[in-house]
A and B are shown apart, each in its own frame.
Chain A
Amino acid sequence: MLKQLRPALLILAIFTVITGVLYPAVITGIAQVFFPYQANGSIILKNGQPAGSALIGQSFDDPKYFWGRLSATAPFAYNASASAGSNLGPLNGVLTQTAQARIDALRAADPGNTALVPVDLVTASASGLDPQISPAAAEYQAARVAKARGLDIAAVRQLVAQNTTGRTLGMLGEPVVNVLQLNLALDDRQLK
């Protein structure tokens, strides 16, 4: 037993240095040199100033913006320093109440729209920070956003398409629309 104590202590100490210090340090070095944008949080710059992250969603409830997924982070939605899902089970009454509240808000902002609501608009994402929605969820909102901004719907759809990412290699993942980048693009277009 005591004979094994020395190698145990020393090998743990050596590997703490190699895997706990050198390895993260080397990866940090490579990351900061070759991928500085990604390694620091994919921060979007607008006129040289940070305007959010391309990978972190934000909360929207203004009709002129596209809305994202629901978020269950505390104490406010899309809290990027405390990621969390709702953890609501499928039969939990709170799940249906939350979904109904979102449906009501969507309908109130867009009275004429009678289409079925795409599921990702009424459910909370796993991280609470999901930056994206499905193209179906964007299309559901396109007419409302166009009307609120006095834009042609074709122009809005064009911006949606520009901010849509297809499946990787035509196969992996799902097609998605980045909500924050789309909303920034909408604001930019109106300034011109």
Chain B
Amino acid sequence: MNINGILQIVVYLAVLLLLVKPLGLYMARVYEGENVVINRALGPFERLIYRIAGVNPDEGMTWKTYAVAVLVFSLISGLVVYALQRLQAGLPLNPAGMSAVSPDLAFNTAVSFMTNTNWQNYGGETTLSYLTQMLALTTQNFVSAAVGMAVLMAVIRGFRARSSQTLGNFWVDLVRGTMYILLPLSIILAVALVSQGVVQTVADYKTVPVLQATTYQVPHLDAAGQAVKDASGNPVMDTIALTQTTIALGPAASQIAIKQLGTNGGGFFNANSAHPLENPTAFSNFLELLAILLIPAALCYTFGRMVGDTRQGWAILIVMTLLLTPFIVLAYSAESNGNPRLTALGVDQTSSAIQSGGNMEGKEARFGVANSALWAVTTTAASNGSVNAMHDSLTPLGGLAPLAMLSLAEVVFGGVGCGLYGMFIFVIIAVFVAGLMVGRTPEYLGKKIESYEMKMASLCFLILPLMALDATALAVVLDVGKASVFNPGPHGFSEVLYAFMSQADNNGSAFGGLGGNTVFYNLLGGVVMLFGRFWMMIPPLAIAGSMARKKVVPPSAGTLPTHNALFIVWLIAIIVIVGALTFFPALALGPIVEHLMMIQ
């Protein structure tokens, strides 16, 4: 670690926290239907959308109607993304001539994008046409994010309501979140990214000469497409001269802006934000990093403002920040220490004024270890899942940090909207446990927490271990599961564990060595993502529906305040105990064993 690296992390967190209040306030006003500058211009257009779609914007929905609307919209979204991938060969804007995506991969990708996961079993520049990237993926990046934020708004209204049946209108929340929050922010970010060198064109891939001509070898294939072997069984190789290279281009900046802001994470290119045309400079990296946590952080303030007590929002934001920071330090220090196996070969991994040093495998020179470690932890804290370094090549403890963030169920910032309503589940558990200890009925924001709310909360926090651990167990006992593992030993186990934790959390990042594009992983992963999204979404809506009907109890001497330091520490303890105890055995088999092997 060095001073400059620490400074970059501190500046990042400071800028993020400074933006929380202005953006949070703006979002609260958007969802409350108050006048903001932009809706004076776009208001008529918003009302036109409601008229075309047959929506009465003043009609409130019960929690069940709200949930049905979410499910119908998501299902149709998934079908459209699936269809576009299957038909892309015959559709326009396909200059690279991409063929139809296979059914299992198309299913996985469709679920991945409708659930805001953006798990990538496809390689962007080798699989998808420009049209699929734009119509299917960019659109879902917006609307799946707006769905998460809409559900959060419904849940917040449930906490706030006084003896009410309704939680607002899903269609209105969806339209406003997309038009007034995600679109304007994306336009600003996309233009800023282009100025740094992110590509934005619909022209064909560009072929350029290389300065030094080289050669490379590929296996010689016979007429049937099989590799030919010589008498001693070695493959026969063909030598090919390389005098030019083809650079993949595309309308990347517009997609990258929203994939960062909407905690989506699905890259335009296979290497995601490590690709120099997706994240070309230190400044573009800073902006993309900021975009990962911006909306999830600001929503805490939105929440506080909407329930009429901003201290409640700040308390939750402090909990999130305090849970995030130690893992950034862990990842940064582990990556800075480098790889002892390389030191033994006579490699210089020390940090100095002229090199970042540390474990540079799977990292870009312009980012170094500090920005790569910071990104790895923030992208797994939020359910973003974009990467600027390859997580599979992190040191064991460097890889433990993102795995630990995934095991905290994506409530430390988390996905846009879903992170905060996931956090409410832990808040409910925290006040319930505290209530048990002192023998009082637990309350949150003046509403009693009773057995119905606790049952729903339990359903929520059981889903992540149920999905992630069972799917991992299945994959590591079946041959079809083991066949995709790339690295030997405990690291290979980490690859599988990471894959299913990431998908159950709707995160989308990966230990990329795992060959995920098989029928087994595509289908099982798709199912895990579906449960991870919707099983986490329905119970909070049910809780909100129940809370909305309750009367407000005035605070008394026995009420546990939920905005002070005591509660902050208590909530952190509950999150760590639930998350850590559930996943510690699995983490011990992966990164912890690997670390012990590395230092012996």
Chain B residues lying within 8 Å of A56, measured Cβ to Cβ, are: 245, 247, 276-277
Q: How many Å from the CB of B84 to the closest CB on chain A?
A: 10
**A residues less than 8 Å from B357 (CB atoms):** 119
Interface flag for B512 (CB, 8 Å): yes
Please tell me if the beta carbons of B209 and A85 are within 8 angstroms of each other in the complex.
no
Binding site of B, secondary structure by majority: helix, strand, loop or mixed? mixed
Query: Which A residues lie within 8 Å of B286 (CB)?
Result: 168, 172
Complex contact B348–A119 (CB within 8 A): yes
Please name the residue on chain B nearest to A172 by beta carbon. Answer: B282
B89 contacts partner chain A, Cβ-Cβ < 8 Å: no
Q: For the complex, give the distance between the alpha carbons of A39 and B254 in Å.
A: 11
Complex interface bits, B21-63 against A, C-beta within 8 A gives 1, otherwise 0: 0000000000000000000000000000100111100000000
As a 0/1 sequence over residues 1 to 42 of chain A, the CB contacts with chain B under 8 angstroms (1 = contact) are 100111111111011101111011011101110110011111
Query: Within 8 Å of chain B (Cβ to Cβ): is A80?
Result: yes
A189 within 8 Å of B by Cβ?
A: no
Q: Is the CB of A1 within 8 A of B363?
A: no
**B168 at the A interface (CB under 8 A):** no
Task: Give chain B interface residues in 550-600, CB to chain A under 8 Å.
Answer: 594, 597-598
The answer to whether A26 and B187 touch across the interface, beta carbons within 8 angstroms, is yes
B362 in complex: contacting residue of A6, A9, A51, A85, CB < 8 Å: A85
CA distance A39 to B206 in the complex (A): 12
Whether B285 lies near A116 (C-beta < 8 A) is no
B194-A127 in contact (CB<8A): no
Closest chain B residue, CB of each to CB of A115: B348
User: Are A82 and B194 within 8 A (Cβ)?
Assistant: no
A95 to B359 alpha-carbon distance, docked (Å): 12
B367 within 8 A of A: yes
Contact A7 B55 (CB under 8 A): yes
Give complex CA distance A35, B138 in Å. 22
Which of B246, B270, B347, B356 interacts with A134 by CB under 8 Å? B356
Docked pose: A128 CA to B125 CA in angstroms: 14
Q: How many residues from A make CB contacts under 8 Å with B?
A: 107
Which residues of the other chain, B, contact A34 by a CB distance below 8 angstroms? Answer: 191, 194-195
Contact of A8 among B76, B138, B247 (CB under 8 A): B76
Q: Within residues 25 to 76 of chain A, which ones have a CB less than 8 A from any CB in chain B?
A: 26-28, 30-32, 34-35, 38-43, 49-62, 65, 69, 75-76
Report how far A173 CA is from B286 CA in the complex, Å: 9
Tell me whether A90 and B347 are in contact in the complex, defined as CB-CB below 8 angstroms, given that A19-B138, A171-B4, A173-B366 are known contacts: no
Question: How many whole Å from A47's CB to the nearest CB in chain B?
Answer: 12
CA distance A188 to B252 in the complex (A): 33
Q: Residue of A at shortest CB range from B487?
A: A89
Distance, CA A62 to CA B210, complexed state (A)? 13
- Least CB distance from B248 to A in Å reads 4
Whether A117 and B211, one on each chain, are in contact in the complex, defined by CB atoms closer than 8 angstroms, is no
A11-B171 contact, Cβ under 8 Å, with A6-B53, A95-B341: yes
**Which residues of chain A in 80-97 are interfacial with respect to chain B, using CB atoms and an 8 Å cutoff?**
80-92, 95-96
Q: Which residues of A contact B349 (CB under 8 A)?
A: 119
Contact A15 B362 (CB under 8 A): no
Do A23 and B277 contact each other (CB < 8 Å), given the known contacts A38-B194, A91-B597? no
Given the complex of chains A and B, what is the CA–CA distance between A116 and B347 in angstroms?
5
Smallest CB separation, B571 vs chain A (Å) = 33
Whole-angstrom distance between the alpha carbons of A79 and B123 in the complex?
14
Residue of A nearest to B486 (CB): A87
Q: Taking the complex as formed, is B122 at the interface, i.e. its CB lies under 8 A from any CB of chain A?
A: no
Assuming A28-B251, A80-B247, is B72 touching A90 (CB within 8 A)? no
In the bound assembly, the distance between CA atoms of A187 and B211 in angstroms comes to 10
Known interface pairs A19-B178, A81-B126, A90-B598. Does A174 touch B338 (Cβ–Cβ under 8 Å)? no
State the CA gap A171–B368 with chains docked (Å).
12
B247 near A81: Cβ-Cβ < 8 Å: yes
Contact bitstring A132-166, B, C-beta under 8 A = 1, else 0: 11111101000000000000000000000000000
Flag if B125 contacts A81 (CB, 8 Å).
Answer: yes
Verify B365–A176 contact, CB threshold 8 A: yes
CA distance A5 to B210 in the complex (A): 54
Chain B contacts with A in 183-223, Cβ cutoff 8 A: 183, 186-187, 190-191, 194-203, 205-206, 208-212, 214, 216, 218
**CB-nearest residue of chain A relative to B52?**
A10
B352 interface contact, C-beta 8 A? yes
Contact B281 A173 (CB under 8 A): yes
CA distance A116 to B589 in the complex (A): 35
Complex alpha-carbon distance, A119 and B344, angstroms? 12
**Considering the chains assembled together, what is the distance between the CA atoms of A116 and B350 in angstroms?**
10
- Return the chain A residue nearest B209 by Cβ: A51
Q: Separation in Å of the B332 CB from the closest CB of chain A?
A: 14
A11 touches B174 (CB 8 A): yes
Select A27's contact among B191, B274, B348, beta carbons within 8 Å.
B191
Considering only CB atoms, which chain B residue lies closest to A100 in the complex? B345
Report the separation of the CA atoms of residues A9 and B371 in the bound assembly, to the nearest whole angstrom. 41
**Docked pose: A76 CA to B196 CA in angstroms:** 28
Residue A120 interfacial (CB < 8 Å)? yes
B347 touches A129 (CB 8 A): no
- Whether, in the assembled complex, B389 has its beta carbon less than 8 Å from a beta carbon of chain A, the answer is yes
Q: When the two chains form the complex, which single residue of B53, B69, B76, B393 contacts A86, counting CB atoms closer than 8 Å?
A: B393
Taking the closest CB of chain B, its distance from the CB of A78, in whole angstroms, is: 7
Rounded to whole angstroms, the CA-CA distance of A1 and B72 in the bound complex is 7
Contact A28–B365 (Cβ < 8 Å): no
| Distance of A4 from chain B, by nearest CB (Å) | 5
- Provide the B368-399 mask, 1 if CB < 8 A to any CB of A, else 0: 10011000000000000001111011111000
> By the criterion CB–CB under 8 Å, are A60 and B247 in contact?
no
Confirm or deny: B111 has a beta carbon within 8 angstroms of a beta carbon on chain A. no
Residue-wise, chain B 257-293 has the 8 Å CB interface mask toward A (1 for contact) of 1100000000001110011110011110110000000
Contact check, A168 vs B283: say whether CB atoms are below 8 A apart.
yes
Report the separation of the CA atoms of residues A89 and B512 in the bound assembly, to the nearest whole angstrom. 10
* B342 nearest in chain A by CB position: A99
Known interface pairs A12-B80, A174-B366; 12 further A-B residue pairs with C-beta atoms within 8 A, sorted by A's residue number = A16-B135, A19-B142, A32-B200, A38-B199, A39-B199, A41-B247, A65-B212, A86-B393, A99-B342, A119-B338, A126-B271, A136-B348
What are 27 A-to-B residue pairs whose CB atoms are below 8 Å? A10-B52, A15-B142, A24-B251, A27-B200, A31-B201, A39-B201, A40-B249, A42-B197, A53-B277, A56-B247, A81-B248, A82-B123, A83-B269, A84-B270, A87-B393, A87-B511, A88-B392, A89-B393, A90-B341, A91-B491, A92-B487, A96-B345, A123-B360, A125-B274, A125-B362, A180-B211, A187-B211
Q: Which 3 A-B pairs have the closest CB atoms?
A: A173-B282, A87-B513, A126-B274
Task: Write the residues of chain A forming the contact surface with B, with a CB cutoff of 8 angstroms.
Answer: 1, 4-12, 14-16, 18-21, 23-24, 26-28, 30-32, 34-35, 38-43, 49-62, 65, 69, 75-92, 95-96, 99-100, 103, 115-120, 122-137, 139, 167-168, 171-176, 180, 183-184, 187
Q: Please give the residue numbers on chain B whose beta carbons come within 8 Å of chain A beta carbons, in ascending order.
A: 4, 7-8, 11, 49, 52-55, 65, 68-69, 72-73, 76-77, 80, 123, 125-126, 134-136, 138-139, 141-143, 171, 174-175, 178-179, 183, 186-187, 190-191, 194-203, 205-206, 208-212, 214, 216, 218, 240, 242, 245-249, 251, 253-255, 257-258, 269-271, 274-277, 280-283, 285-286, 338-339, 341-342, 345-349, 352-368, 371-372, 387-390, 392-396, 486-489, 491-492, 511-513, 594, 597-598
